[in-house]
Chain A
């Protein structure tokens, strides 16, 4: 590469180093030291990592996070496909449905959290009122199930449209001839879905699954605003746990757990990617 080419790369490299490289290096540096506010850092090697991996609070948060993210995938992906299949393929309905689906995506995380908080407030919220009709005492700050399911429902409401829109775009790109050919072969609706629609949707589904996995694994604002991670630690997901530690100035612990966190996201994303890319191709004969 000539020198001039480097010149053009400099702005991008500077931005990238500020936004990613420097913070990451800082975190790695923290993770290898014992730091407490004010005191001088002491190098401790991998001690922080050992501590994190032996911390029941971290492991519980991780387990909670895994279950939550898997639940998200299991519900949002099929639901998204279903919505996409049910959407009109032409006519005035298309624009209307797209706008309708797009609205949740436009709302920022923290606003979603605040909306949820208002809706679920025990004295004024509409949700507790609604459940009261069935004699159910809905209370997110007291009942674990209520809190978890509310956050789960929020995420499904907020992000299923993304999966649906991706799938919708994918469906639009399948030529009619594929469906006709299946029809001529006498394939049933299920077989047509299984052998035409699903394989043709694979590329967008890979993107959808990865995005939803990574994003749900990072869930932060909603539990924080709704219950602050409670009741107890019922909705203290991984990012909330890590942030708590950083807020309480345990920077070494926070650094180490961040790196482990990052590692987990990368490994699982890679596994999902491999799995989805290779299903039904020559790779897993």
Chain B
């Protein structure tokens, strides 16, 4: 049940944008399709909802094939990045429009009830008699979302709905969307380039890169166990630090050597490490500037940039040609070009194969 996509391929002219993508979305799932611009997430979203047809492959709703069913016959709802409303209708009429057109034939009081109920949920009650031009961007997008919600549909698609909103409205709506869409049940598919959207709202995440679905699964699973180095690097805020490392044997011990200073002992994992070179990933918050622990790996790095984000600080370092980013949950101030000792937690590393770019092991177990 829910939505299934089998072997979806799609090209625009000669450029392939989706390469054999398959996924199964269960009922009740809030799926975020994550990926950079041009990765194929929006195209898949449009194919799933029926605006676009795949070159090959099948789409099923609740087990019934709908690949060739045009979008207007599918009973789906969609919210766009642009604030899409009917300009000559009031907010009320806008929310009511899909109900009026619907073949279900809603009675007048029923339409009225549904519109008011949805408007209430999205905080639009006071502006129902206004026109879209007269309200703010946030309210326009709320109206578009209300239109999608008022419609009696199981499948809701959202294409970067928060992208054109300013920060505060985005935060606000993000919180509300999770609650409102969660209550509604059905299936929600949400395309976004923002890892934060995925982390804060969804139950499932699919990560796209260059037209391929690199990983799809439950939110926690994908976040904690990113199967490809690209997934780990992208689906992390700020981005995961990736270093190249070589296996070095020294007096019966196995080390992963990144640089003179950064060398991690991996003797206990030696059996699993068959290759000579690996990519080592460490999340920004697993780097520190001070520590009480004795097993930390320390190295000297030059500060390039320090960004204060309210109560957090993002520090950007350079160490032997490699760039690092560290996230600290405090406000620290360093003058530029300071040399800082960075501590890296050896028990918080992701090891990826350099050839397949797949996850080989993690140096830790989830608590």
Contact = CB atoms under 8 A, between A and B. Distances in A.
A112 to B, nearest CB: 37
Given A183-B71, A281-B131, A282-B130, A199 B88 contact: yes
Nearest to A177: B80
B84 A199 contact: no
B152 to A, nearest CB: 13
A200 B85 CA distance: 11
A186 B51 contact: no
Given A181-B80, A199-B86, A199-B88, A281 B49 contact: no
The number of chain B residues touching the other chain, given as a range, is 20 to 34
Interface in B315-348: none
Nearest to B98: A185
A86 interface: no
Contacts of B103: 186
A280 interface: yes
Contacts of A186: 72-73, 98, 101-103
Given A282-B131, A282-B134, A187 B101 contact: yes
A19 to B, nearest CB: 37
B110 interface: no
A184 interface: yes
A279 B89 CA distance: 11
Nearest to B87: A199
Interface string A169-185: 00000010110111111
A84 B50 CA distance: 28
A195 interface: yes
A200 to B, nearest CB: 6
B97 interface: yes
A175 B130 contact: no
A87 interface: no
Interface string A194-213: 01101110100000000000
B133 interface: yes
Given A281-B133, A282-B134, A184 B86 contact: no
Tell me which of A181, A196, A199, A279 has the highest count of chain B C-beta atoms within 10 A of its own C-beta: A181
Given A200-B87, A282-B134, A184 B78 contact: yes
B51 A185 contact: no
A165 to B, nearest CB: 22
Contacts of A282: 130-131, 134
Given A184-B72, A281-B133, 10 more contacts: A175-B84, A177-B80, A180-B51, A181-B84, A183-B72, A184-B51, A185-B72, A186-B98, A186-B101, A282-B134
20 contacts: A177-B81, A177-B82, A177-B84, A178-B82, A180-B71, A180-B78, A181-B84, A183-B71, A184-B51, A184-B77, A184-B78, A186-B72, A186-B98, A187-B101, A191-B101, A198-B88, A199-B86, A281-B131, A282-B131, A285-B129
